[in-house]
Amino acid sequence: MLITALATPFKEGKIDSRSYEKLISRQKNSVDGLLAVGTTAEALLLDDCEKKLLITLAKGVAPQLPLWVGVENADTKKATKDAVTAEKLGANGILLAPPAFVKCTPKGYLLHVKQVAEAVDIPVMLYNAPSRCGYVLDRRIVEKLSESGRYMLKDAGGNLQFTEALSAKMTVLCGNDGLLSEMLARGAKGSVSVVSNVAPELTRKIIRGASEEDSALFGLLAKLTMLEVNPVAVKYMLYKKGIFDAYDVRLPLTKACGATRKQIDAIDWEKIQ
């Protein structure tokens, strides 16, 4: 399973709908789903109207693809409201980030997830994102949630033992492109990928089994996406690929620096599929 964590194009401070539609159109024949309004989309820097716009555009351009929508609010009531809104706008599932900064207790996380999930009738993908949220999900709590059969997990924690243990209980997707092959070997069933923004076909090959040459290229692209805080580098990559008209980000992020641009400029982007 391959889901692209869509980046959000900006131009002169506003969402560039044309570039966004172009990005989504390139995904249609290579991926199994899309993720809008996630971390790569700079979700916390978008207002409610902008989030609705991105969801609506994604559903309009690729109605045949399942659309997952990120829910990242640390306030349980607000997260629940965001999930309900996403479902009403046509989301096929939500990616529920753990409350950042709050660093809730294991029981608090369990209650947070249950309250949000009970408010909607669509699947919920849990998100282990310690580098973003400040803590690793409690394995026992995730295993308890897995018993219902309703939840999936996007794992960006980097602990392969954690991945392997939970893969035996539920569907786990890789949340770290640099560890994709290793996580697939430990039981992951696919990826929620940043690299697939610029190389959806290549990313699909990695999941299904790729040559050493393709694996090396994917590994290089994965490293490039992490040269700076995501999505700074991948937005410049999308610009170089001709998909985005600009590589703007919103403060407190800043545009790709000279060193990042130099490394990305060295790639022959016409050969990347």
Strand 67-71, strand 93-96: pairing: parallel
The one catalytic residue in 20, 59, 109, 127 is 127
Name every residue whose Cβ is closer than 8 Å to that of residue 174 and which is 6 or more positions away in sequence.
154, 155, 156, 180, 183, 184, 188, 190, 191, 192, 193
Assess whether 127 carries a catalytic annotation: yes
Asked whether 97 and 83 are in contact (CB, 8 A), the reply is no
The contacts of residue 105 (CB under 8 Å, 6+ apart) are none
Would you call 154 a catalytic residue per the annotation?
Answer: yes
For 199, other C-beta atoms within 10 Å of its C-beta total 25
Residue 88: exposure state from Cβ atoms within 10 A (0-12, 13-18, ≥19)? exposed
Cα dihedral 106/109/115/121 (nearest 10):
-110
Q: Which of these is catalytic: 59, 154, 235, 240?
A: 154
The size of the chain, in residues, is 273
Indicate which residues carry an active-site annotation: 127, 154
